Amino acid sequence: MGNDGFEQMSLLGDAPVAKPALNRLFFALMPDEQDAARLFQLGAELRMAHGVRGRPIGENRLHITLHHLGDFPEVPELMVNRARQAGETLAHPTFALSFDIVMSFGKHSSNPPFVMVGSEENLSGVISLQREVGVRMAHAGLAREVEKSFTPHMTLAYDLKTVPAQAIAPVSWHARELVLVHSLIGQSVYFVLGRWPLKPTA
């Protein structure tokens, strides 16, 4: 890991040149291996049913983003340490969640994500966890990175086709841990930098 160096000097030495952001950090929920395989298969059926032919999100990358911490030229060690501190103080119970709608986000995007979403009632645990993680982040010095607006969703693929919101049979799984993810932008590669189990329900 390097520092936060967001700029480098140009060859002429007279103006800073922004480095490309190659690294992304985010807090997420990820299904365990068994649920991921099942969700991937269900996602394949949904893509086929709705004519979505874009490249699918791999089963080892299926997730719900809770807080996007930023995109960086190099992984910022200080932010990772603060995020880990936030994760270590988490005390949220495990919960079940369910998606019952598929749709495309971003009507004006050329390659919109095809996602699963659901009602607030079916995703109340996700919403509660996202808020608690935000509180823990603020206490750890990451208040600026807390997502104020949040729509729980799981992206299945990106495609040229835009799919209007449509009801589906509920797709359920059980959230058991919070993860801190480092992704390489545009390379479909994830590294998990931290895992924190949610508290078993009584």
For 69-119, the pLDDT digits (tens) are 999 999 999 999 999 999 999 999 999 999 999 999 976 677 899 999 999
What pLDDT sits at residue 10? 43
26 token code pair: 């985010």
Q: Which residue in 146, 127, 150, 128 sits closest to 137, CA to CA?
A: 146
Active-site residue set: 63, 153
Tell me what the pLDDT averaged over the chain comes to: 91
Selected residue with higher pLDDT from 199 and 11: 199
Reported pTM: 0.88
Across the chain, which distance is largest between two alpha carbons, in Å? 64
Stretch 167-196: mean pLDDT, rounded? Answer: 96
* Domains within the chain, CATH numbers bracketed: 21-197 (3.90.1140.10)
User: Over the stretch 124-181, which tens digit does the pLDDT of each residue have?
Assistant: 999 999 999 999 999 999 999 999 999 999 999 999 999 999 999 999 999 999 999 9
What pLDDT is recorded for position 3?
44
**Residues in Cβ contact with 73 at an 8 Å cutoff, skipping those fewer than 6 apart:** 5, 6, 19, 20, 21, 22, 23
Strand 95-104 and strand 7-9: the pairing is unpaired
The helix or strand, by DSSP H or E, that contains position 145, with its residue range, turns out to be none
